[in-house]
């Protein structure tokens, strides 16, 4: 085993495959029946020719056996790589294929076919991890064959050199003579040897997305899923399986994330022998994919990570993977612009001059990008009309978009624009011309959401039309950024462009159409930054990040709620992906009033921006905004590329804290938030993490602090902690005579190594 290389060690004699990079080992073999059996996944172990002692072959009463006369070989006891129903395995299968005779049984076996590829091949039409140089990863493809149908299944595994992460996907080719229908295709199956895990899912709703919830695994199936054809606000397509004693800084954890934006199924099934089967893939509800002879189906990709250093280690693995192997294009390494968005400032009530006023005030505060949100197009005067007509609204922008873009550019700012490409209002020219382009099931009433319908993105003609409209507009003015919104979910999924036998494909083809449009836009306009959005964070997933390097985290811009949302989001997604804005007070979603400093101190741990009418702020507040923007620009690179550590969770606590440490560990930024005051409270210290114990750090603070200006070793700051209980949290003005700060106060500490 070589450290820090993505090695795939094959032992032909034992038909064993060992994927390792010095941090993790993933081992499986093909047994005597040609079945792929998982042997180990976890921290790296030295290679050996034969790990098969890790499979137990024993007689278990009532099990169903495959080999005549043999009562010990039963698939029910096997930890399989890609299980099917039949042959004695009664757990959920990874594959179901309906054949001409009505059966869905297959019996995939390995016949010696595999190949090792330097680097990582692209997955046609789908988001997937990638490498810039072939030495960053190694890929294994294993071929399985079902002889009666002629189906070939290729399991693809990529191990990365620098991360404890494995990417997996499945490719199925119909090599037989008759069409078949894929009814269920999981992208990843992982059978773990016991059930001693907790499962953490990230759940919520509009305005309170991705709060972590943890429960011990129990017998049977525990599942998270979406049937909205979007990852959705409710459950995010990722989960953590951790040993019960695992904390942020220690213990074992396995993370699973699906790089897909449609209907998903992520579940763990604990079986009768205490094996935990984890699966993730396209939800099989309503799914079927007709595969004619010679055709191939490519599944989306899933990511699997292992950490022996607690949840933080797991987050760092996913964050690095997103930054290095998912986000791409010129904005992968560029600093993201600080933006101002007009939505909460004006809603639908704006004209060109009002927008330019907002942009000018923002420019004076150092803001770099002006984003024009909903309402600029078609006959969009409220949310009942206009979606689908992507040309300037003559009532609001009589001079067109180019004029506004030029005036914004002349201020020295970039210009950005909101779209909801997948949506259409019945009151639109597009709908009047093509009512059959909106998704509906024949003879049934379509439902609306926010007065809108979704276009059938499974139909290439629809995607072509929207591409033509958007690219004409993007070519007509200097537009650097688009906000890609999506404000309702698919409800009566049907593809009017295809016949009955292809209807099970409608949802997945829709998502492929979304990816296709994103890819075409990025190819035509490679400098564009696309920020994802779906009524806030309703489509925050690894799949979208392949196209949109940042995603609006939530429509909830209240700083205190945002702590909870961004804290949960950070388990899988790095700060540079989280759209986060400072908004007005009282907040429009919660009516809560948090200090301007706190609103900025939370948004700084994301892609920083503002979403309010700066013209309504006092001069003192504008000065403060100016200082905040300058502060953020100074530390933006560290915030977006450093290592993030969660220190105190905001759920049910009166405090919250997190920090970022630069890659060289010379600078650290600590966000220290007081949710509710504790009068006459304790003397507290905040134990920091990720610093260099041997370095000495000078402490600066954006608010008042008794330790500002003093120096401490990394060892002191991590083992004793940063004294954070002095009453001066926030601005001195916030401190009452008893020495108590206000609710919702906060401050940022910057630690710089001498
Ligand atoms: C969604 C988005 C908001 C805003 C509105 C505009 O709700 O999440 O940020 O763009 O649409 O209609």
Pick the closest to residue 415 from 355, 327, 329, 485 (CA basis).
355
**Residue 710 domain flag:** yes
Active site residue 485: yes
Pick the closest to residue 194 from 336, 311, 41 (CA basis).
41
Considering only CA atoms, which residue is closest to atom 12 of ligand 1?
Answer: 374
Let me know the angle formed at the C-alpha of 73 by 67 and 79, rounded to the nearest 5 degrees. Answer: 130
Considering only CA atoms, which residue is closest to atom 7 of ligand 1?
Answer: 535
Q: Is the pLDDT of residue 448 over 60?
A: yes
**Residue 289 domain flag:** yes
Mean pLDDT within 371-398: 97
Last residue of a domain, one of 605, 637, 669: 637
Summary mean pLDDT of the chain: 96
**Rounded to two decimals, what is the model's pTM?**
0.97
**Pair 633, 652 in one domain:** no
Mean pLDDT within 460-478: 98
Q: What are phi and psi of 602, to 5 degrees?
A: -85, -45
Mean pLDDT within 295-306: 98
- d(C-alpha 48, C-alpha 229), whole Å: 44
CATH number of the domain within which 656 lies: 2.60.40.1180
Ligand 1 neighbour 485 (Cβ under 6 A): yes
Q: Is the pLDDT of residue 730 over 50?
A: no
**Residue 424 domain flag:** yes
Q: What are phi and psi of 633, to 5 degrees?
A: -60, -35
**DSSP string of 587-600?**
-TTT-----HHHHH
**Pair 690, 724 in one domain:** yes
CA distance from start to end of the chain? 39
Q: How confident is the model at residue 3 (pLDDT cuts 50, 70, 90)?
A: low
Ligand 1 neighbour 552 (Cβ under 6 A): yes
Range(s) of the domain holding residue 431:
339-637
**Residue 198 domain flag:** no
**Pair 314, 361 in one domain:** no
Count of the separate structural domains present in the chain: 3
**Pair 740, 663 in one domain:** yes
- The answer to whether 542 and 258 are in contact (CB under 8 A) is yes
Is 659 annotated as belonging to a binding site?
Answer: no
Q: How confident is the model at residue 677 (pLDDT cuts 50, 70, 90)?
A: confident
CATH number of the domain within which 411 lies: 3.20.20.70
- d(C-alpha 170, C-alpha 557), whole Å: 39
**Residue 447 domain flag:** yes
Query: Would you mind telling me the total number of residues written for the chain in this entry?
Result: 754
Computed on alpha carbons and rounded to an integer, the radius of gyration of the chain in Å comes to 27
Pick the closest to residue 752 from 687, 705, 686, 708 (CA basis).
708
**Pair 672, 553 in one domain:** no
Is 351 annotated as belonging to a binding site?
Answer: no
- d(C-alpha 466, C-alpha 454), whole Å: 12
Q: pLDDT tens digits for 44-90?
A: 999 999 999 999 888 999 999 999 999 999 999 999 999 999 889 99
- Give the contacts of 698 (CB within 8 A, at least 6 positions apart): 709, 710, 711, 751, 752, 753, 754
Ligand 1 neighbour 487 (Cβ under 6 A): yes
How many angstroms is it from 534 CA to the middle of ligand 1? Answer: 8
Give the 3-state secondary structure of residue 643. strand
Let me know the angle formed at the C-alpha of 188 by 2 and 460, rounded to the nearest 5 degrees. Answer: 120
- Peptide bond preceding 586 in cis form (omega within 30 of 0): yes
- d(C-alpha 669, C-alpha 413), whole Å: 28
Ligand 1 neighbour 229 (Cβ under 6 A): no
Position 681 scores a pLDDT of 83
Position 726 scores a pLDDT of 64
How many angstroms is it from 535 CA to the middle of ligand 1? Answer: 5
Is 533 annotated as belonging to a binding site?
Answer: yes
Mean pLDDT within 194-203: 98
Q: Supply 712's token pair.
A: 């401490």
Pick the closest to residue 661 from 548, 575, 555 (CA basis).
575
- The answer to whether 487 and 420 are in contact (CB under 8 A) is yes
Q: Supply 64's token pair.
A: 């169903």
Ligand 1 neighbour 555 (Cβ under 6 A): yes
Q: Supply 300's token pair.
A: 């989306």
Q: Supply 656's token pair.
A: 């919250």
**Pair 598, 727 in one domain:** no
Mean pLDDT within 578-589: 97
Question: Long-range contacts made by residues 655-660, C-beta under 8 angstroms, separation at least 24?
Answer: 656/563, 656/567, 657/686, 657/724, 658/567, 658/570, 658/605, 659/688, 659/689, 659/690, 660/575, 660/605
Q: Is the pLDDT of residue 571 over 50?
A: yes
Pick the closest to residue 288 from 500, 571, 472 (CA basis).
500
Chain centre distance of CA 149: 37
Please give, one letter per residue, the 3-state secondary structure of 707-742.
CCCCEEEHHHHHHCCEECCCCCCCCHHHCCCCCCCC
**Pair 313, 372 in one domain:** no
**Residue 403 domain flag:** yes
Mean pLDDT within 438-444: 96
**Residue 453 domain flag:** yes
Position 728 scores a pLDDT of 43
CATH number of the domain within which 113 lies: 2.70.98.60
Is 552 annotated as belonging to a binding site?
Answer: no
Position 73 scores a pLDDT of 94
Angstrom CA distances, 685 to 45, 570, 648, 718, stand at: 38, 23, 12, 10
Give the 3-state secondary structure of residue 618. coil
Ligand 1 neighbour 540 (Cβ under 6 A): no
How many angstroms is it from 226 CA to the middle of ligand 1? Answer: 21
How many angstroms is it from 459 CA to the middle of ligand 1? Answer: 26
Instruction: Report the share of the chain in percent with pLDDT over 70.
Output: 97
Q: Supply 232's token pair.
A: 């959705």
Last residue of a domain, one of 637, 656, 690: 637
Q: What are phi and psi of 644, to 5 degrees?
A: -95, 135
**Residue 678 domain flag:** yes
Q: pLDDT tens digits for 9-18?
A: 999 999 999 9
**Pair 538, 403 in one domain:** yes
Position 56 scores a pLDDT of 84
Last residue of a domain, one of 618, 637, 656: 637
- The answer to whether 280 and 225 are in contact (CB under 8 A) is no
**Pair 618, 654 in one domain:** no
**Pair 67, 105 in one domain:** yes
Mean pLDDT within 94-120: 97
Ligand 1 neighbour 374 (Cβ under 6 A): yes
| Strand positions, DSSP E, 36-179 | 36-43, 95-98, 109-118, 137-146, 151-160, 165-174
Please state, as a whole number, how many other Cβ atoms lie within 10 Å of the Cβ of residue 218. Answer: 11
**Pair 16, 114 in one domain:** yes
Q: Supply 523's token pair.
A: 């190819």
**Pair 705, 612 in one domain:** no
- The answer to whether 690 and 665 are in contact (CB under 8 A) is yes
Catalytic hit among 89, 485, 724, 743: 485
Position 737 scores a pLDDT of 47
How many angstroms is it from 379 CA to the middle of ligand 1? Answer: 17
- d(C-alpha 454, C-alpha 229), whole Å: 11
Q: pLDDT tens digits for 244-283?
A: 999 999 999 999 999 999 999 999 999 999 999 999 999 9
């Amino acid at each position: 085993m070589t450290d820090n290389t993505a090695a795939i060690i094959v032992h032909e004699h034992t038909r064993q495959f060992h994927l390792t990079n010095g941090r993790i080992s993933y081992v499986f073999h093909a047994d005597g029946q040609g079945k792929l059996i998982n042997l180990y996944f976890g921290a790296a172990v030295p290679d050996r020719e034969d790990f098969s002692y890790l499979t137990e072959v024993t007689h278990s009463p009532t099990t169903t056996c495959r080999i005549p006369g043999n009562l010990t070989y039963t698939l029910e006891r096997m930890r399989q790589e890609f299980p099917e129903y039949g042959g004695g395995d009664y757990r959920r299968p990874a594959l179901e294929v309906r054949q001409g005779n009505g059966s869905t049984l297959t019996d995939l076996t390995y016949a010696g076919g595999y190949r090792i590829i330097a680097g990582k091949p692209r997955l046609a039409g789908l988001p997937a991890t990638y490498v810039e140089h072939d030495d960053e990863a190694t890929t294994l493809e294993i071929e399985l064959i079902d002889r009666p149908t002629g189906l070939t299944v290729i399991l693809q595994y990529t191990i990365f050199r620098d991360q404890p992460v494995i990417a997996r996907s499945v490719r199925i080719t119909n090599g037989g003579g008759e069409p078949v229908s894929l009814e269920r295709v999981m992208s990843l199956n992982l059978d773990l040897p016991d059930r001693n895990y907790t499962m953490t899912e990230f759940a919520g709703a509009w305005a309170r997305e991705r709060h972590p919830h943890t429960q011990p695994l129990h017998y049977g199936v525990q599942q998270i899923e979406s049937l909205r054809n979007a990852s959705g606000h409710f459950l995010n397509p990722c989960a953590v399986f951790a040993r019960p004693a695992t904390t942020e800084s220690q213990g074992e954890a396995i993370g699973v994330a699906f790089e897909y934006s449609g209907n998903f199924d992520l579940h763990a099934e604990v079986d009768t022998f205490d094996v935990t089967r984890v699966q993730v893939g396209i939800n099989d509800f309503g799914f079927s994919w007709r595969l004619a002879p010679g055709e191939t189906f490519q599944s989306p990709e899933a990511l699997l990570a292992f950490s022996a250093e607690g949840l933080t280690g797991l987050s760092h693995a996913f964050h690095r993977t997103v930054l290095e192997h998912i986000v791409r294009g010129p904005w992968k390494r560029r600093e993201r612009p600080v933006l101002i968005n007009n939505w909460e400032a004006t809603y639908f009530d704006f004209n060109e001059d009002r927008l330019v006023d907002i942009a000018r005030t923002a420019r004076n505060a150092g803001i770099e990008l002006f984003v024009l949100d909903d309402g600029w197009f078609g006959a969009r005067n409220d949310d009942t009309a206009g979606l689908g007509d992507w040309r300037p609204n003559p009532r609001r922008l009589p001079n067109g978009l180019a004029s506004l873009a030029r005036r914004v550019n002349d201020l020295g700012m970039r210009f950005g624009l909101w779209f909801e490409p997948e949506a259409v209002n019945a009151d639109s020219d597009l709908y009047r011309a093509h009512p059959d382009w909106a998704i509906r099931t024949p003879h049934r009433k379509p439902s609306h959401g926010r007065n809108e319908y979704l276009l059938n993105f499974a139909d290439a003609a629809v995607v072509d039309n929207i591409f033509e409209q958007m690219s004409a507009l993007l070519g007509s003015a200097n537009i650097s950024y688009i906000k890609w919104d999506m404000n309702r979910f698919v409800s009566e999924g049907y593809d009017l462009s295809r016949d009955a036998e292809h209807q099970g494909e409608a949802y997945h083809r829709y998502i492929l159409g979304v990816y296709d449009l994103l890819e075409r836009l990025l190819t035509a306009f490679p400098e564009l930054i696309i920020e994802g959005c779906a009524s806030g964070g309703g489509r925050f997933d690894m799949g979208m990040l392949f196209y949109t390097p940042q995603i609006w985290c939530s429509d909830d811009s209240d700083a205190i709620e945002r702590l909870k949302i961004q804290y949960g989001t950070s388990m899988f997604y790095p700060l540079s992906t989280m759209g986060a804005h400072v908004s007005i007070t009282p907040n429009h979603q919660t009516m809560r009033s948090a200090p301007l400093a706190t609103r900025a101190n939370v948004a700084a741990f994301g892609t920083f921006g503002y979403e309010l009418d700066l013209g309504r702020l006092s001069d003192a507040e504008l000065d403060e905004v100016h200082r905040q923007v300058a502060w953020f620009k100074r530390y933006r690179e560290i915030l977006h590329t450093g290592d993030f550590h969660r220190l105190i969770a905001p759920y049910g606590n009166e405090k919250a804290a997190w920090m970022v440490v630069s890659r060289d560990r010379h600078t650290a930024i600590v966000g220290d938030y007081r949710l509710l005051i504790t009068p006459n409270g304790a003397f507290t210290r905040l134990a920091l993490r990720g610093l260099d114990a041997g370095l000495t750090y000078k402490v600066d603070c954006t608010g008042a602090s008794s330790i500002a200006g003093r120096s401490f070793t990394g060892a002191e700051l991590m083992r004793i902690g940063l004294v954070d209980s002095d009453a001066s949290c926030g601005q001195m003005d916030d401190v009452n005579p008893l020495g108590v700060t206000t609710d919702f106060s906060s401050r940022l500490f910057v630690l710089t190594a001498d």
